[in-house]
Copies of this chain bind each other. A is one copy, B any other.
């Protein structure tokens, strides 16, 4: 993946862009993608931008059988001055490398990957939505391509970046969501792959998600797999609680995904002078806090939804209504602060943004 050598092969049949008024999440893809190949002993090579097209793989490819694959998710925003803004992309490529390591897959060169992404964004600039609230979702992923039915790390891989113009993740927008606390199924356990962004974690979550959806809940909240007492995270978000004035979030423990939004919230609140406590949070504590009126706010954090206030938690059939089911002041303040940094409305005082000026000059 030596970027000086990114080959660019443009399509000659551009797709029609979807209507920005009702963009759904993850259904539309742009005209091009970034690809690089890895061969053991030779490293990453053939970094290229090519027309978005099907991936052709031997039926025995390891990714189909043994799930050796990792991914990332981040967004590009168009600011009012027409520059293209990325929110902490270097954190995503760092986390991609952590995930790759857990799955015994080869490391990527983080700087080269970022450069590949920026090149791709230049090519696809017209795909970055213009409507407020919309953005271009970026999905880097690596798959094991070797055709081999033995359980062993592959010797060949492909790295892709695909792009998808998106609206809000939740159809409801920034309105509070209802979340079901999951008691039967477990997403991840210490010693497993919960800390990595890998396919198997999401596959294992589907069953619980299905039950939650059928009962009108938008996501599940996972408990730890050992004691089934402590909160881990939500479907595709980390989770924060404001209890009696204190902001707390489950500490990183090996089975929770270390979200970049989570990290940013912690840094932002510290910057504002209200440090977040990272520790174990039990469901008993939450139920007690709720009973005594001290569970003031609950919100999820993640790239897709940014901040997602929680209006209702259901645990063991009992419903905890939070902040009368309306968006709390802190949730709103954090949502506004983050989205305004992301879109360039507010100053980037924590130096989180990588941007391409309208003339494609990189600014950091």
A positions within 8 Å CB-CB of B: 25-27, 29, 33, 52-61, 63-69, 71, 102-104, 137, 139, 141, 143, 147-153, 160, 162, 164, 184-193, 198-207, 209-210, 225-226, 235-236
Contacts and interface: CB of A to CB of B under 8 A. Distances in A.
A191 B186 contact: yes
A173 to B, nearest CB: 16
A202 B57 contact: no
Contacts of A53: 59
Contacts of A164: 60, 149
Contacts of A29: 58-60, 147
Contacts of A204: 192-193, 200
A160 B59 contact: yes
Nearest to A104: B206
Contacts of A63: 63-64, 199
Contact of A150 (B26, B150, B226): B26
Given A26-B149, A102-B207, 10 more contacts: A25-B150, A27-B147, A151-B202, A151-B206, A152-B206, A153-B210, A186-B192, A189-B225, A190-B225, A200-B204
A67 to B, nearest CB: 3
Nearest to A225: B189
A66 B198 CA distance: 7
Nearest to A201: B200
Contact of A206 (B55, B153, B226): B153
A199 B201 CA distance: 10
A148 B206 CA distance: 14
Contact of A200 (B26, B57, B137, B203): B203
Nearest to A149: B26
Contacts of A209: 151-152
Contacts of A189: 186, 189, 192, 225-226
A76 to B, nearest CB: 15
A152 B52 CA distance: 23
29 contacts: A26-B60, A27-B148, A54-B56, A54-B58, A55-B64, A56-B56, A59-B162, A63-B63, A64-B199, A65-B139, A65-B141, A66-B203, A66-B206, A67-B67, A67-B202, A67-B203, A68-B206, A103-B207, A104-B206, A151-B209, A152-B209, A153-B206, A153-B210, A184-B191, A185-B191, A187-B192, A198-B203, A200-B200, A200-B204
A120 to B, nearest CB: 13
Query: Which of A59, A65, A143, A203 has the largest number of chain B CB atoms within 10 A?
Result: A203
